[in-house]
């Protein structure tokens, strides 16, 4: 099977970790680099989470790079309330067995693109800070990538960080605006085949992890476990026998509790794993093409992603916006890949 080279830019957090597990468990993917972006937690914690997850997965040959400490134009905001004090809920990862690269995340983007010209698939599941810095470093970066998939924004849909803004964009709106403006222009404004695929909350909130689905994952890994329930004591630790399932369950429990406290039920939206699956197979999702941009100066609306579906702005489309997904098909694929991968770690 041909393995697709993937560069993952993550702000590891709970669902970013699930996305990395999906990529590591996918026989058709070769993760050629990981950029650690400040977002859910500060950049050094993201680095530790990425290195610890790779150690847990007995994977030490994927270079992990450290990104900028803050967004392009504002101080960093983090989300420990959502992802836990260290970004992975109640989970504890093993110590790193590898070190960070000597070069930063923006340089890592450019190195990976030059090593896999025309073949590299870019995946961004955090703020676009380091992608924007990479595009400044190498203006031809867009033309070196085969595909770019971004989890971010909310299109004709409410935000999760402000009434109108989604977290990844809200943390660094300037980087999102810069990437959306520059990426398509690098290809030539009338070249729609290379537009980035943008998966916003309007799509990713249809992918709802539940304790029952998580139990299916444990079973697929051949791992004994105890199905989770909202009636469990908060902070109860996983009894899973498999080390990766145990970490994912302890991470997800914090995420379930957060969503429950938000009034959304004892569930969790799997934003980033969906983006990882789409990076490998864009046909999992249907799209609508539009011109998008990010509000930067609105008192109430800063960080809002705006889609011009009807051409009011007179600008060429610059994005394929995810509009439909079969969530059951996604979970079947997630379980079919992550479960057996976890079993190899027993």
How many CB atoms neighbour CB 141 within 10 A? 24
CB 202 within 8 A of CB 156: yes
Specify whether the CB–CB gap between 54 and 98 falls below 8 A: yes
Contact (CB, 8 A) for 220 and 339: yes
Range 27-66, binding ligand RIB (CB under 6 A): 39-40
Return residues touching Ca ion (CB under 5 A).
Answer: 11, 13, 16, 125-126, 272
Question: Going by DSSP bridges, is the β-strand pair 145-151/120-124 parallel, antiparallel, or unpaired?
Answer: parallel
Partner interacting with residue 167 (select from Ca ion, ligand RIB, none; CB below 5-8 Å by kind): ligand RIB
> Measured from the CB atom, is 18 or 195 closer to ligand RIB?
18
Q: Quick check: 151 binds ligand RIB (CB under 6 A)?
A: yes
Residue span binding ligand RIB (CB under 6 A) among the ranges 13-21, 49-57, 190-198, 223-231: 13-21
In 50-97, which ranges are E strands? 64-66
Question: Given the complex with Ca ion, which of 25 and 126 has the nearer CB atom?
Answer: 126
Name the minimum Å distance from CB 173 to ligand RIB.
Answer: 13
Q: Measured between alpha carbons, how far is 276 from 298 in angstroms, rounded to an integer?
A: 31
Q: List 145's β-bridge partners, or say none.
A: 120
Among 16, 172, 249, 250, binds ligand RIB (CB under 6 A): 16
**Binding partner of residue 122 among Ca ion, ligand RIB, none, CB under 5 to 8 Å per kind?**
none
Among residues 11 and 178, whose Cβ is nearest to Ca ion? 11
How far apart CA 95 and CA 2 sit, in angstroms, is: 32
Among 4, 6, 8, 11, binds ligand RIB (CB under 6 A): 11
Task: Count the neighbouring beta carbons within 10 Å of the beta carbon of residue 222.
Answer: 14
Beta-bridge partners for 199: 151
Q: How far is the CB of 193 from ligand RIB (least distance, A)?
A: 26
The CB density around residue 67, as the number of other CB atoms within 10 Å, is: 28
- Residue 213 contacts residue 338 (beta carbons within 8 Å): no
Q: Cβ 240 to Ca ion, closest distance in Å?
A: 23
Q: From the list Ca ion, ligand RIB, none, pick the one residue 166 interacts with, judged by a Cβ distance below 5 to 8 Å according to partner type.
A: ligand RIB
Per-residue CA distances from 109 to 14, 27, 177, 273 (Å): 23, 22, 19, 20
Site string for ligand RIB, 225-244 (x = CB under 6 A): --------------------
The smaller minimum CB distance to ligand RIB, of residues 40 and 129, is found at: 40
Shortest distance in whole angstroms from residue 40 CB to ligand RIB? 5
- Say if strands 268-269 and 208-209 run parallel, antiparallel, or are unpaired: antiparallel
Contact 69, 45 (CB under 8 A): no
- Site residues (CB under 6 A) for ligand RIB, limited to 157-216: 160, 166-168
Q: What's the min distance (Å) between Cβ of 30 and ligand RIB? A: 22
- DSSP H/E element including 56: helix 43-56
Tell me if 293 contacts ligand RIB by CB under 6 A.
no
Q: Are 266 and 296 in contact (CB under 8 A)?
A: no
Q: How far is the CB of 140 from Ca ion (least distance, A)?
A: 27
107-126 residues near ligand RIB, rule: CB under 6 A: 125-126
- List residues binding ligand RIB (CB under 6 A): 11, 13, 15-16, 39-40, 125-126, 151, 160, 166-168, 271-272
């Amino acid at each position: 099977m041909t393995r697709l080279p993937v560069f993952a830019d993550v702000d590891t957090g709970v669902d970013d970790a699930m996305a990395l597990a999906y990529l590591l468990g996918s026989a058709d993917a070769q993760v050629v680099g990981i950029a650690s972006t400040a977002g859910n937690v500060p950049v050094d914690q993201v680095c530790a989470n990425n290195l610890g997850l790779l150690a847990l997965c007995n994977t030490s040959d994927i270079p992990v790079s450290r990104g900028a400490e803050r967004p392009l134009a504002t101080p960093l905001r983090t989300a420990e309330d959502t992802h836990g004090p260290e970004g992975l809920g109640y989970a504890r990862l093993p110590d790193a067995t590898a070190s960070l690269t000597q070069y930063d995340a923006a340089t890592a983007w450019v190195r990976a693109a030059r090593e896999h010209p025309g073949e590299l698939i870019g995946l961004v599941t955090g703020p676009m800070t380091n992608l924007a810095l990479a595009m400044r470093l190498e203006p031809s970066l867009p033309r070196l990538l085969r595909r770019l998939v971004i989890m971010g924004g909310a299109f004709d849909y409410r935000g999760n960080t402000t009434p109108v803004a989604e977290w990844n964009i809200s943390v660094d709106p300037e980087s999102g605006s810069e990437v959306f403006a520059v990426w398509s222009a690098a290809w030539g404004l009338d070249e729609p085949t290379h537009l980035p695929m943008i998966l916003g909350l309007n799509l990713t909130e249809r992918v709802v992890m539940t304790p029952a689905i998580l139990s299916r994952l444990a079973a697929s890994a051949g791992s004994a476990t105890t199905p989770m329930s909202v009636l469990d004591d908060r902070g109860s630790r996983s009894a899973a026998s498999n080390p990766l399932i145990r970490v994912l369950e302890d991470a997800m429990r914090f995420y379930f509790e957060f969503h429950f406290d938000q009034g959304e039920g004892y569930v969790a939206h799997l934003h980033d794993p969906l983006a990882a699956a789409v990076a490998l197979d864009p046909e999992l999702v249907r799209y609508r093409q539009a011109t998008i941009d990010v509000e930067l100066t609105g008192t109430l609306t800063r960080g809002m992603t705006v889609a011009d579906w009807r051409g009011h702005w007179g600008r060429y489309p610059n994005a394929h916006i995810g509009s439909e997904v079969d969530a059951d098909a996604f979970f079947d694929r997630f379980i079919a890949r992550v479960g057996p991968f976890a079993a190899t770690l027993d």
